[in-house]
Amino acid sequence: MTGPRTPTSEASTGELIAQATDDISTLIRNEIQLAKRDLATSGKRLGVGAGMFGVAGTLALYGLGALVAAGILGIAEELDAWLAALIVGGGLFVLAGLAGLIGKMRVSRVAEPPKERVASVKADVAAARHGAAS
């Protein structure tokens, strides 16, 4: 939109088409900017969720190591050291489970496209079709 607009009742067909083209271009640019902003936010959430899956995997690996150590200590040493290693391994698996659940919750919130953006674009397309039909 470069200059003052001529009132619609006085505008020629060419001016009206130019104004409509400017309006559509502006609308599309604005929708793209909003979609980029929404996708950036979704990307950050997805990154946090993926990081939590990494934490879950790391803690599960430590848990496996502790359980292996518990088995060795259970055979080679007295019961107290074996029991302590099992408690540590079980605790690490509990933490891994919690991290996995948090990661799943974060990722599942991002999986769907932004509903507001989709509805807005559908409304814009419907309005453009209705305007073109009349």
Where along the chain do its domains lie?
A: 14-115
Tens digits of per-residue pLDDT, 24-68? 888 888 888 888 888 888 888 888 888 888 999 999 988 888 877
- Nearest CA to 121 out of 7, 59, 19, 33 is that of 33
* Confidence class for position 122, pLDDT limits 50, 70, 90: confident
| Residue 112 reports pLDDT greater than 70 | no
Q: Which pair of structure tokens corresponds to residue 10?
A: 């006085």
Q: Give CA angle at 82 (81, 88), nearest 5°.
A: 90
8 Å CB contact between 102 and 59: no
Q: What is the DSSP letter of 112?
A: S
| Cα separation, 10 vs 134, whole angstroms | 20
Q: Around Cβ 118, how many Cβ atoms within 10 Å? A: 12
Per mean pLDDT, which range of 4-18, 37-51, 83-97 is the poorest? 4-18
- Nearest CA to 100 out of 63, 29, 51, 66 is that of 51
pLDDT value of position 75: 60
